[in-house]
Amino acid sequence: MGFLSGLEHCVREGEPLSAHTWFRFGGLAQYWAEPTSLEDLTAIVKRSHDEGAAVRLLGGGSNVVVRDAGVRGVVVHLSAPVFSQISVQGRRLKVGGGAKLSHVVSMCASRGLAGMEQLVGIPGVVGGALHGNAGSHVADIGQWTVGATVMTRTGEIVVRDAADLQFSHRDSSLNELVILDAEFEFEQDDPQALTQKMQQTWIVAKAKQPTIGQYAGCIFKDPGGVSASSLIEDAGLKGERIGEVAICERNANFMVAEPGAQCDDLLSLIDLVRSRVSEQLGVDLEPQIEIW
Ligand X SMILES: Cc1cc2nc3c(=O)[nH]c(=O)nc-3n(C[C@H](O)[C@H](O)[C@H](O)COP(=O)(O)OP(=O)(O)OC[C@H]3O[C@@H](n4cnc5c(N)ncnc54)[C@H](O)[C@@H]3O)c2cc1C
Catalytic residue list: 170
Sign of the Cα torsion 200, 204, 207, 209 reads negative
Quick one: which segment of 106-114, 133-141, 154-162, 268-276 binds ligand X (CB under 6 A)? Answer: 133-141
Count of residues near ligand X by CB under 6 A? 33
Q: What's the CA gap between 219 and 245, in Å, rounded?
A: 12
Name which position in 36, 102, 209, 268 contacts ligand X (CB under 6 A). Answer: 209
| Sequence-ordered list of residues with C-beta below 8 angstroms from that of 246, at least 6 positions apart, any chain | 239, 240, 255, 256, 258, 269
CB 177 within 8 A of CB 78: no
* Other beta carbons within 10 Å of 73: 14
For the bound state, the minimum distance from the C-beta of residue 170 to ligand X, rounded and expressed in Å, comes to 6
When asked if residue 255 is in the footprint of ligand X (CB under 6 A), the reply is no
CB 79 within 8 A of CB 36: no
CB 255 within 8 A of CB 248: yes
When asked if residue 22 is in the footprint of ligand X (CB under 6 A), the reply is yes
Q: What's the CA gap between 257 and 250, in Å, rounded?
A: 14
When asked if residue 57 is in the footprint of ligand X (CB under 6 A), the reply is yes
Quick one: which segment of 25-33, 108-116, 134-142, 272-280 binds ligand X (CB under 6 A)? Answer: 134-142
CB 23 within 8 A of CB 17: no
When asked if residue 155 is in the footprint of ligand X (CB under 6 A), the reply is no
When asked if residue 252 is in the footprint of ligand X (CB under 6 A), the reply is no
When asked if residue 79 is in the footprint of ligand X (CB under 6 A), the reply is no
Name which position in 125, 194, 266, 277 contacts ligand X (CB under 6 A). Answer: 125
When asked if residue 124 is in the footprint of ligand X (CB under 6 A), the reply is yes
Cβ proximity to ligand X: between 170 and 274 the closer is 170
Residue 271: beta bridge partners? none
When asked if residue 35 is in the footprint of ligand X (CB under 6 A), the reply is no
When asked if residue 93 is in the footprint of ligand X (CB under 6 A), the reply is no
When asked if residue 179 is in the footprint of ligand X (CB under 6 A), the reply is yes
When asked if residue 147 is in the footprint of ligand X (CB under 6 A), the reply is no
- Angle at which helices 191-207 and 101-111 cross, to 10°: 150
The residues that touch ligand X, with contacts defined as CB under 6 A, are: 22, 56-64, 78, 97, 122-125, 127-129, 131-132, 134-136, 170, 178-179, 209-210, 216-218, 290
